[in-house]
Amino acid sequence: MENFLNTLKKLRIVDYIIIIGIILAAIVGFCTMKGARSTASKSIDAVSQISFDVVMRGITYTGSELPIKANETTFISIRNVPYSDLKITNVKAERRKIVLPVLNTRNTKTVIVVEDVSQPNVYDAVVTLTDTAKITKDGAVVGGNKIKIGLPITLEGADYRLNGTVSNIQLINGAEEVAKDQQLSAVENVQ
């Protein structure tokens, strides 16, 4: 017993802090293992295919067709962090448009939409991409990033690097079925 007390007297404050830290880490590990504390891997509800639209405004291109084409792949960076090659499922690109009022009508609220001749090489495009995402209670997670409307994304191909933002997110088949199965199993567990 005297040996133990002598050892305690030799310990400094830093040693006590380290011992307390080890004990706290053991308690947190035990609680996580027993399920009292949830980790990120447990919060994943499903894994599903998603499609999301990336809107790119003001693309300046002088060629005849945009280099982004459907059924090809493009490399994306999410928040300037490289992610992966994704499949392009759809591309909609139009020349920049302007709204002009029609002056020779009785109704003063009549307008027409025409191509902007002052910017003949400027396009607005919507590119639809697909990927496998982890579905959580906070939304879809792709590459460790939550895919939400307004998220900045860079598309990069052999001859282009374009910036855009996410404007639409949709689950593609299967995720609804997984969610329904989970709801049914939760109801069965309650009964």
Give pLDDT tens digits for 81-122.
899 999 999 999 999 999 988 887 676 778 889 998 888 889
Report residue 79's pLDDT band, with 50, 70 and 90 as the boundaries: confident
Say which CATH architecture domain 44-93+121-179 belongs to. Answer: Beta Barrel (2.40)
Q: Which pLDDT score is estimated for 186? A: 45
Give me the percent of the chain exceeding a pLDDT of 70. Answer: 84
pLDDT beyond 50 at 66: yes
pLDDT beyond 50 at 144: yes
Give pLDDT tens digits for 35-57.
765 555 556 778 889 999 999 99
Q: Which pLDDT score is estimated for 48? A: 87
Q: Which pLDDT score is estimated for 105? A: 67
Closest to 42 measured CA to CA, from 116, 134, 125: 134
pTM of this prediction exceeds 0.85? no
Q: Which pLDDT score is estimated for 2? A: 79
The domain ranges of the chain are 2-34, 44-93+121-179
50, 133 Cβ separation under 8 angstroms: yes
52, 147 Cβ separation under 8 angstroms: yes
pLDDT beyond 70 at 179: no
Report residue 3's pLDDT band, with 50, 70 and 90 as the boundaries: confident
- The pair of structure tokens assigned to 74 is 């493009």
pLDDT beyond 70 at 69: yes
Q: Which pLDDT score is estimated for 188? A: 44
Report residue 9's pLDDT band, with 50, 70 and 90 as the boundaries: confident
- The pair of structure tokens assigned to 155 is 């598309």
Question: Residue 20: left if φ>0, alpha if ψ -120 to 50, beta else—which one?
Answer: alpha
